[in-house]
Chains A and B, each alone.
Chain A
Amino acid sequence: MRDARDAEDNRLLESGEIDLLLAGWTETIVARCVSKMRGPVGHDVAQVVCLRLWRELKDGKHRDGRWPFRVIVHKVIGFICAGWYEKGWSELELIEIDGPTADDFTGDVELQLTLEEFVASLPPGDGEVAQLWLLEGLEYDQIGARLDKKPNALYQARSRINQRLREWLES
């Protein structure tokens, strides 16, 4: 499943707006690197990930749309985090993403799992709340007003969604 951002990423790639493309991913990159590395060293790793991706984009890689750019981002994060403490490892020796073995490229990147898919899997009432909360970024009060839900009902819906979300993330 490709999420709505994949199409926007492809558009930015095709139009050569690679700075905007990578800038849109930097927060995810930093946050994932910090969580994977379990602390501040993650910021160093994130810097290397950004530089690596920037160089590849500047070299014209990844423009064939074979993989959503998010898959490439997550793969590079995984690769660099995994190798960071290995003796003799260099982040420059990255797998050849566009090479002949690219069919196996996604590896541990869960291409099919997106937040949109999660929201779509929820029962209608909770799905509406999750759509407004997770995908449209509305705040608690705004969601209540939009769906005409009382605070208590909204609170219960959020609790159910949170529980389902954690189960989904751990699955």
Chain B
Amino acid sequence: MKATPEHLLDELVDRWAQGAPLDVDELLVRAGPRSDELASLIDAFLQRAPRREPTREALAFVRSLDEPSLLVARQERRLKLDDLVAGLVERLRLPAGASKKVRRYYQQLELGQLDPAGVAASVWIALADLLGRDAKGLAAVPLPAPAAAPMFRVADANTSLFDMVSLSAAAERFEGAESRAPEEPDEVDRLFGVDPSD
């Protein structure tokens, strides 16, 4: 049974008042077909509520914005994430259906969550072409992403938003898409040096 937007808003306000993680993603999922209604209420509340005290993780995240990174390089090229992913899929001659996984792995790479050492040379060449610079050098300086920043949590209290594995997993659950348990590495796994069984 889905909770009503009214109850879920109350839950959010409680979390907010007590300094707990807000987990808006999780609340929207729980709202089911009334998620739009809940989203509007949450948005109105947050627009009127004062900010909270900064966390250590949030401070680390903000300071990381100064680091040279794939993210900054992408921004400088005015490339949205989806545009870059489309470019990667095209240059790596992957099927269109691979976009979701490429997006997830690229985000992990961009956020310092994926070991650049395992990424195939062809990916770096494609990235250099898209970003107009040596992308591997940028990825070698990982963002000091917060380990468990409350504001980045998705649904699991032990993960962070910048753990894009969790984010993507949440997205896939939300959309009911993709396989539930990949076993054998495919071409995208190989290109990004990921063992899906890990």
- A contact residues vs B (CB 8 Å cutoff): 3-5, 9, 19-20, 22-32, 34-36, 38-40, 42-44, 47-48, 50-51, 54, 58, 70, 74, 84, 90, 92, 109-110, 113-116, 118, 133-134, 137, 139, 162, 165-166, 169-170
Inter-chain contact B48/A115, CB cutoff 8 Å: yes
A24 touches B54 (CB 8 A): yes
- Is residue B55 within 8 Å, beta carbon to beta carbon, of the partner chain? yes
B47 near A137 with CB under 8 A, answer no
User: Could you tell me if B61 and A26 are in contact, using CB atoms closer than 8 angstroms?
Assistant: yes
- CB distance A51 to B150 under 8 Å? no
Q: Which residues of B contact A47 (CB under 8 A)?
A: 71
Q: Which chain A positions have C-beta within 8 A of B168? A: 40
What are the 6 A-B residue pairs with the smallest beta carbon separation, nearest first? A27-B151, A23-B54, A5-B50, A23-B58, A169-B44, A24-B54
Do B170 and A40 have beta carbons less than 8 Å apart? yes
Q: Report the Cα distance A43→B39, complex, angstroms.
A: 15
Min C-beta distance of A107 to chain B, whole Å: 12
- Taking a contact as CB atoms under 8 Å apart, the answer to whether B48 and A114 are in contact is yes
Q: How far is the CB of B25 from chain A (nearest CB, A)?
A: 6
**Which residues on B sit within 8 Å (CB–CB) of A38?**
28, 35-36, 39
Closest to B22 in A: A31
The secondary structure that dominates the A interface is helix
* Contact of B53 with A by CB under 8 A: yes
| Cα–Cα, bound, A141→B35 (Å) | 31
A23 and B55 contact, Cβ closer than 8 Å, known pairs A32-B47, A35-B42, A137-B17? yes
Do the beta carbons of A30 and B151 come within 8 Å of each other? yes
A25 contact set on B, CB distance < 8 A: 51
**Known contacts A4-B50, A25-B51, A40-B167; A50 and B161 CB within 8 A of each other:** no
Whole-angstrom distance between the Cβ of B27 and the nearest chain A Cβ? 9
The number of chain B residues touching the other chain, given as a range, is: 35 or more
- Say whether B41 faces chain A, with CB atoms less than 8 Å apart: yes
Cβ of B37 to closest chain A Cβ, rounded Å: 10
Say how far A12's CB is from chain B's closest CB, in angstroms: 10
B117 within 8 A of A: no
Question: Is B6's CB within 8 Å of the partner chain A?
Answer: yes
Given contacts A20-B59, A34-B25, A137-B17, 17 further A-B contacts (CB under 8 A): A5-B51, A24-B51, A26-B62, A26-B149, A26-B151, A27-B51, A30-B152, A31-B22, A31-B42, A35-B39, A39-B28, A40-B154, A43-B152, A48-B75, A51-B65, A115-B49, A166-B41
Q: Is the CB of A27 within 8 A of B50?
A: no
Would A27 and B47 be within 8 Å (CB), given that A35-B39, A43-B167, A137-B17 are in contact?
Answer: no
Task: Looking at the assembled complex, report how far the CB atom of B164 sits from the nearest CB atom of chain A, in whole angstroms.
Answer: 9
Residues of A close to B35: CB separation below 8 A: 38
Which of A51, A115, A169 has the most chain B CB atoms closer than 10 A to its own CB?
Answer: A169
Most chain B CB within a 10 A radius of its CB, from A9, A84, A116, A166: A166
Closest residue on chain B to residue A48 by CB atoms: B75
Report the separation of the CA atoms of residues A70 and B49 in the bound assembly, to the nearest whole angstrom: 10
Q: B78 contacts the other chain (Cβ, under 8 Å)?
A: yes
Q: How far is the CA of A90 from the CA of B161 in the complex (A)?
A: 24
Are B17 and A133 within 8 A (Cβ)?
A: yes
Indicate the member of B35, B43, B107, B154 with the most A CB atoms within 10 Å: B43
